[in-house]
């Protein structure tokens, strides 16, 4: 992600977070339309940054309201009269309205995440936002009430609309303002209540996302880019709130509903429409192929040599789990991974073979081990290279983090489904594994053959066929047309024509 892309997406977030047109829909559709492809873990981290930017914007704009509500609430608790002050009562109403979104976000997190890889579904939900805005203007009271008219029942209703807006395409501000209008509030009052409701939701979502914030191994390299998007979201978010609060004092939500309808229809047409017959040849359709770090080298190299290489768009994902979600939600046509998915709904096609290689520090004198010796090393039974015929040197174990394909396969093929020694160092990525083994004398680890360079030494293992792993293409339905022909072409390739580190199927 470049600084320009970060600033552009930060501006989009700042504009659309508060305008009733769905910020999440724009952050899904715009990169899709512009052909921008980002590492999935990086984009999730960036999403946290820009949402924190819009949170800062709403806190700055409503700082007096938030201060008054906070002071009144704590004063009421201290005096044991929690509902005596109108600001304290408003604080409890906001907390109550936040509850549905909090529960929905925790219980249905995986369901909501799938929609972020589904541009067509997001476009359809934008149409639902357009209808909701029109309906609220039709049934809303023309006179309107103040925020004091919001009772506990109304707060729960507005909160349920906010929970629904976790879906990308359903505008959070649009849904909650619409619900406020249906409860009889004035437009500007409904908007104020909507934005105050956003504060605990954004804080909660931000804290919940912090546990994933530092997972990306190259996060610190991207900090300047992240901050660019953050600052753009803060500045534009302040302007957006200021403009919308003045706009709603005089005008309806009708114009926003037409905008949502236009963008939603455009998304559906761009995602579902076929080529229009003209006198000139239309370009062939593109196939979106999802990959993980272990298969990216394979797919990119094989695609460059294939007859339809120009039609293949490679979409990188940081883990097999995220790639599987992208395939299931329709974010990519197929995924290519080093395992066979256990999902019965997916069709798996073997393409080639690769190997899980045992790597050691270049100074380790041992040339080969049996599977039994290797198991003893990684389970901590043997802790010194001297016990294997080498010079006295403590063995330093490196293993992948729990749940990764490499770790699961290593445990199944080498450790007999047992866990490695608790003294092993857990590393999140093949690049970090290789870096650790290179830098620690006496270190031993494992990595996919295609990702092992000359800086480490590959340890020979007896019966190495046990370490061979198939490369699978998997899709939601059986591949057809050009995609099926492409997979068949890969299967027919001889070993000498496959990228380094991969073997032909037997």
pLDDT in tens, 437-486: 988 998 999 888 777 777 888 888 876 556 778 888 888 777 877 888 88
Give the separation between CA 501 and CA 448, rounded to whole angstroms: 8
Domain boundaries, the chain: 3-270, 287-352+472-503, 354-468
Residue 88 has pLDDT above 70, yes or no: yes
| Contacts for 319 with CB less than 8 Å, ≥ 6 apart | 41, 292, 404
What pTM value is reported for the model?
A: 0.51
Topology of the domain comprising 287-352+472-503: D-Maltodextrin-Binding Protein; domain 2 (3.40.190)
Residue with the larger pLDDT of the pair 22 and 277:
22
Q: How confident is the model at residue 269 (pLDDT cuts 50, 70, 90)?
A: confident
Q: Which of 189, 50, 25 is nearest to 119 (CA)?
A: 25
Predicted confidence (pLDDT) per residue in 366-395, tens digit: 888 888 888 888 888 988 988 888 888 899
pLDDT at res. 343: 64
Contact criterion met (CB below 8 Å) for 284 and 313: no
pLDDT at res. 353: 86
Do the bridges between strand 312-316 and strand 457-461 make them parallel or antiparallel, or are there none, so unpaired?
Answer: unpaired
Give the residues across from 151 on adjacent strands: none
| Contacts for 261 with CB less than 8 Å, ≥ 6 apart | 126, 127, 130
Residue with the larger pLDDT of the pair 378 and 414:
378
Give the separation between CA 145 and CA 135, rounded to whole angstroms: 18
What average pLDDT does this structure show over 142-169? 74
Query: Which range among 4-13, 430-439, 494-503 shows the weakest confidence by mean pLDDT?
Result: 494-503
pLDDT at res. 394: 92
CA angle 277, 278, 279 (to 5 degrees): 140
Question: What would the two tokens of residue 76 be?
Answer: 């009421």
CATH of domain 354-468: 3.40.190.10
What average pLDDT does this structure show over 237-264? 84
pLDDT at res. 278: 35
Average pLDDT, the chain: 78
Same fold for the pair 287-352+472-503 and 354-468 = yes
């Amino acid at each position: 992600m470049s600084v320009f892309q970060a600033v552009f997406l930060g501006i989009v977030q700042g504009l659309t977070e508060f305008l009733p047109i769905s910020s999440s829909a724009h952050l899904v559709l715009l990169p899709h339309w512009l052909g921008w492809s980002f590492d999935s873990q990086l984009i999730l981290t960036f999403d946290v940054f820009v949402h924190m930017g819009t949170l800062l914007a709403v806190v700055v704009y409503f700082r007096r309201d938030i201060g008054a509500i906070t002071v009144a609430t704590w004063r009421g608790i201290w005096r044991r009269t929690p509902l005596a002050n109108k600001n304290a009562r408003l604080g409890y109403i906001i907390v109550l309205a936040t509850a549905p979104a909090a529960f929905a976000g925790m219980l249905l997190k995986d369901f909501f995440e799938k929609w972020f890889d589904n541009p067509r579904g997001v476009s359809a939900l934008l149409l639902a936002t357009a209808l909701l805005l029109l309906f609220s203007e039709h049934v809303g009271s023309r006179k309107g009430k103040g925020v004091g008219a919001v009772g506990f029942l109304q707060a729960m209703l507005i909160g349920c609309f906010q929970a629904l807006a976790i879906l990308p395409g359903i505008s959070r501000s649009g849904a909650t303002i619409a619900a406020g209008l249906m409860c009889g509030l004035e437009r500007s009052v409904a908007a104020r209540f909507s934005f105050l409701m956003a504060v605990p939701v954004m804080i909660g979502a931000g804290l919940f996302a912090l546990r994933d914030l530092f997972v990306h191994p190259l996060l610190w390299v991207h900090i300047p880019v992240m901050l660019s998007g953050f600052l753009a979201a803060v500045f534009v978010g302040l302007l957006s709130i200021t403009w919308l609060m003045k706009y709603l004092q005089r005008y309806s939500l009708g114009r926003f509903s037409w905008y949502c309808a236009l963008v939603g229809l455009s998304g559906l047409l761009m995602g579902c429409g076929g080529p229009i017959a003209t006198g000139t040849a239309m370009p062939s359709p593109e196939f979106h192929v999802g990959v993980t770090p272990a298969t990216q080298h394979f797919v990119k190299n094989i695609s460059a040599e294939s007859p339809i290489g120009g039609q293949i768009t490679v979409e990188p994902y940081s883990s097999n789990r995220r790639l599987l979600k992208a395939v299931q939600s329709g974010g990519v046509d197929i995924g290519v991974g080093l395992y066979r998915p256990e999902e019965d709904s997916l069709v798996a096609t073997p393409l080639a073979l690769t190997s899980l290689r045992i790597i050691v520090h270049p100074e380790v004198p041992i040339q080969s081990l049996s599977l039994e010796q290797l198991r003893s090393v990684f389970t901590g039974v043997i802790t010194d290279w001297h016990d294997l015929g080498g010079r006295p040197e403590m063995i330093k174990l490196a293993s992948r983090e729990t749940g990764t394909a490499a770790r699961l396969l290593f445990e199944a093929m080498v450790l007999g489904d047992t866990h490695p020694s608790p003294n092993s160092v857990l590393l999140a990525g093949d690049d970090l594994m290789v870096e650790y083994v290179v830098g620690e004398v006496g270190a031993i680890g494992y990595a996919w053959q295609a990702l092992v360079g000359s800086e480490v030494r590959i340890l020979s293992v007896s019966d190495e066929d046990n370490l061979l792993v198939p490369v699978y293409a998997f899709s939601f339905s059986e591949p057809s047309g050009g995609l099926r022909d492409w997979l068949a072409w890969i299967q027919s390739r001889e070993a000498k024509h496959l990228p380094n580190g991969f073997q032909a199927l037997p």
